[in-house]
Amino acid sequence: MQVVITGASQGIGYAVAEAFAAEGHTLCIGSKTASRLKEATENLQKKYPAATIHSKQADLSNQAECEAFGNWCLSFGTPTILINNAGFFLPGNLMEEAQGVLETQIGANLYSAYYTSRAIIPAMIKAGRGHIFNICSIASLHAYPQGGSYSISKYALEGFSKNLREELKDKGIKVTGVYPGATYTNSWAGSGVAPSRIMEAEDIAKMIFAATQLSPQAVVEDIVMRPLLGDL
């Protein structure tokens, strides 16, 4: 399989990349930060020599870079799986956050998935198969303190994912929304929260990989995951 993963240099994206690389698949991975992407690519290729790892630096909050990244991925063939993971979290209250935070969060968390998908989906439609995962969040499902524009952008991503599911289901393309609760990534570093209190990025990766192993006529529409003791 050819697997495209955005935001793959760390956290959930890197864990997902590991899950597919471990099975010897071809990966096209992207990240905004060139240095972290280079390190991730080298680590994956060294640890999983049977896999093929292609990587490209891209700021996917930018439409033109999404389109260029998508076309680059297509140069290696039609992807079987697209995992829209790029994005980041900025905490804050709507009435207190700085001007421009909403635009920044919408760009990173919604436009990245929207424009990358639009670049790749036509080839999937032509092939008559494909599976798209949109990494939403528990913040897509309910409001919470300090959610601010991040939660707005994740609600929007859920809407994108639901609409895409309806548009593509008769074309042989699966769409899955992924809604992780608190997951230990760099966002939690220095927070004082024990890693054992919240989920591991590998937990999310395992569920995503499992969802790709079903028959062509079956799809997992939503994956909702929370720490055993509940979210923070």
- Average pLDDT for residues 4-30, to the nearest whole number? 98
pLDDT per position as a tens digit, 40-93: 999 999 999 999 999 999 999 999 999 999 999 999 999 999 999 999 988 888
CB 85 within 8 A of CB 16: yes
pLDDT at 24 exceeding the cut of 90: yes
Contact (CB, 8 A) for 93 and 146: yes
Q: What is the pLDDT of residue 144?
A: 84
Average pLDDT, the chain: 96
Q: Is the pLDDT of residue 189 over 80?
A: no
Q: Is 9 exposed, middle or buried (0-12, 13-18, 19+ CB in 10 A)?
A: buried
CA angle 33, 17, 168 (to 5 degrees): 100
Tokens of 176: 């899955």
> 146 near 101, Cβ under 8 Å?
no
Q: What percent of the chain has pLDDT over 70?
A: 100
- 89: phi > 0 → left, psi -120 to 50 → alpha, else beta; which? beta
Can you list the positions of beta strands (E) in the chain? 2-5, 26-31, 52-57, 81-84, 130-135, 173-180, 183-184, 199-200, 222-225
- Phi/psi at 213 (5° precision): -100, 10
Do 220 and 205 contact (CB within 8 A), yes or no? no
Specify the pLDDT at position 37. 98
Q: How confident is the model at residue 190 (pLDDT cuts 50, 70, 90)?
A: confident
C-alpha–C-alpha distance, residues 88 and 7, integer Å: 9
Give first-to-last CA distance, the chain, whole Å.
36
Backbone angles phi, psi at 45, to 5 degrees: -70, -35
Integer CA distances (angstroms), 89 to 37, 108, 152, 182, in order: 19, 9, 11, 12
70, 56 contact by CB (below 8 A): no
**Tokens 């930018």 label which residue?**
62
Second CATH level (architecture) for the domain 2-225:
3-Layer(aba) Sandwich (3.40)
Q: What is the band of 145 on the pLDDT scale with cuts at 50, 70, 90? A: confident
Average pLDDT over residues 89-108: 92
Residue 226 has pLDDT above 90, yes or no: yes
pLDDT (mean) for 197-226: 97
Q: What Cα–Cα distance (Å) separates residue 188 from each residue in 11, 80, 163, 182, 211?
A: 10, 32, 31, 9, 27
**What residues does each domain of the chain span?**
2-225
Which residues are registered as beta bridge partners of 4? 28, 82
